[in-house]
Chains A and B, each alone.
Chain A
Amino acid sequence: MNNKEKLEGIKCKKCGYFQHISHLRCLKCKNDTFDIVEAKGNCILLTYTILHAPPMEFREKKYYILGVVQFENGMKAFGQICPKENLIIGMKLKPIYEKVCNDLDGNEVYGYVFK
């Protein structure tokens, strides 16, 4: 998991619908060919929550912030939000690749957080 993963989505070659990279067929038209699109630049905060009752893997933190962000090309992502105060819907954030937790098997898990 230490090799930096790209923050990518897929765009349907037939209808142009943009979706998460895990889909094998298009949610809109069932086509199975896509262009990979990389998230570029900054993103904006769409919504967030401050979670004070984390799942087991995240209990070393007393609380953390989770949010949905959107990049200029329309791609959305979900992850931890780093500014702890003065959060404003629409504020600009930058994706940073780093360790997010140890999973229940003790493995280090990496992903994007938004700072």
Chain B
Amino acid sequence: MREVAIIGVGHTKFGRLNDKGLLDLLCEASLDAIEDSNTSDTDFDSVYVASMLAETLNHMTGVASALVDRIGLLPTAADHIKNGPASGGSAIKNAFYAIASGACELVLVSGAEKMTHVTLPGGVTSAVATMTHHNAERIHGASLPSFAGLLTRSYMEKYNVPKEWITSIAIKNHRNGVNNPYAHFQKEITLKKAMESPIIADPLQLYDICPISDGAAAIVMCDADIAKKYCDSPILITGVGQATDTHIIYEREDLTVLNALRICSKQAYDMAKKTPNDIDVFEAHDAFTILEAIQSEDIGFFKKGEGAKAAHEGLTEIGGKIPINPSGGLKARGHPLGATGVAQVIELVWQLRGEAGKRQVADADTGITCNFGGFGNNIVSILVERM
């Protein structure tokens, strides 16, 4: 396989972006990534667009075709990749294999979601809940927050973990988000305020849950052999993994284990010939605080049941044993579904280039992501290194 490099990134502001539509966001991030890559008017070989709910929330199909037309990339091949909230990671994985196989040399990945215009109460929750198992879960009123509530209770009972330890993850991510100019929230919150916030899916509270956001993120990837032609500091994608788990969450032997993450992160580590000890920074998929705690265990940084404790003790802070979500994570950066997996990789690119400003992790050479689809039933991990 050929080596694959990232040579350009583009990231819109995440948040409530009232004056921009889905396609506007995809175009903005894509053109910024192309400019950052110095590829100028070079022809692309393929474009992968990630968006989970374009049809449902934006009444748009064919977003990949629309994007290449609007930004003047015709007649480049263009595909729309849909893997729930892991669509961005899946798009990068597809781009990686397109280049690694030798089929493509220069590829654009662009992910976006436009969600905040939905005003019907429960509208976004219902659209996202269509990922759940129809007969076993959906018809009974299941939603993603409800699963996170079940998981939080199971984890607290099994490992005797106080809720404050789990919620401390949101405090840390908000603190990191203050220094991310693209974040939905650039505001610190206190543990007291978070612990007094309304219950959403008991025991999970409002401040344990990521916001609904608009935004887009894009990267330009190429054959590593030609990367230096465009870019002084290319970042290599050296590991990629993807795995699935049961659609019905109660069919997992242990609700608190993310088996798909164990498998896909092992694939990424093995491909890159790395172990968790080699990782300097981790971008987790903290749609709910409990997920960051559990992912930090199943991706190999902490023993089972010790992820929330580690966060509580400061081990996942910037400057800690393993910094997690210096970007602010989904909690503070926001979660425009299709953009998230791409934004995670962009944060690692900035960290590895040394361009992360006040949230910079010192001497970051290697990073990994967890992009979480469904409720852990389809997970992608991307491992990146400095060239």
Shortest B367–chain A CB gap in Å is 33
- Asked if B116 is an interface residue, CB under 8 A from chain A, the answer is no
- Asked if B271 is an interface residue, CB under 8 A from chain A, the answer is no
Tier of interface size on chain A: 20 to 34
Q: Given that A20-B248, A22-B136, A66-B142 are contacting pairs, would A54 and B149 also be in contact in the complex, using a CB cutoff of 8 Å?
A: no
Tier of interface size on chain B: 35 or more
The reply to whether B248 and A78 form a contact with Cβ atoms under 8 Å apart is yes
Q: Is the interface of A mostly helix, strand, loop or mixed?
A: strand
Stretch at the interface among B28-36, B58-66, B193-201, B223-231: B193-201
Q: Given that A56-B120, A89-B157 are contacting pairs, would A111 and B146 also be in contact in the complex, using a CB cutoff of 8 Å?
A: no
Q: Given that A66-B146, A78-B140 are contacting pairs, would A57 and B126 also be in contact in the complex, using a CB cutoff of 8 Å?
A: yes
The reply to whether B139 and A101 form a contact with Cβ atoms under 8 Å apart is yes
Partner of B141, one of A57, A68, A77, A104: A57
- Asked if A97 is an interface residue, CB under 8 A from chain B, the answer is no
B106-139 vs A, CB cutoff 8 Å, 1 = contact: the mask equals 0000000000000011110110010001011101
Q: Given that A56-B122, A57-B126 are contacting pairs, would A66 and B153 also be in contact in the complex, using a CB cutoff of 8 Å?
A: no
- Asked if B255 is an interface residue, CB under 8 A from chain A, the answer is yes
When C-beta atoms are compared, the residue in chain A nearest to B148 turns out to be A49
Residues from chain B with a CB closer than 8 A to the CB of A48 are 150, 153
The reply to whether A64 and B123 form a contact with Cβ atoms under 8 Å apart is no
- Asked if B38 is an interface residue, CB under 8 A from chain A, the answer is no
Determine the distance from Cα of A53 to Cα of B145 in the docked complex, in whole angstroms: 8
Determine the distance from Cα of A33 to Cα of B221 in the docked complex, in whole angstroms: 46
B-to-A contact residues, CB < 8 Å:
120-123, 125-126, 129, 133, 135-137, 139-143, 145-146, 149-150, 152-154, 157, 198-204, 246, 248-251, 255
17 interchain pairs (CB within 8 A)?
Answer: A20-B251, A22-B133, A46-B250, A47-B157, A49-B202, A50-B199, A50-B202, A51-B201, A56-B123, A57-B126, A58-B141, A68-B250, A77-B136, A78-B248, A80-B140, A100-B141, A101-B139
Q: A51-B141, A100-B140 are in contact. List 5 more A-B contacts (CB 8 A).
A: A51-B146, A53-B125, A54-B125, A68-B250, A68-B255
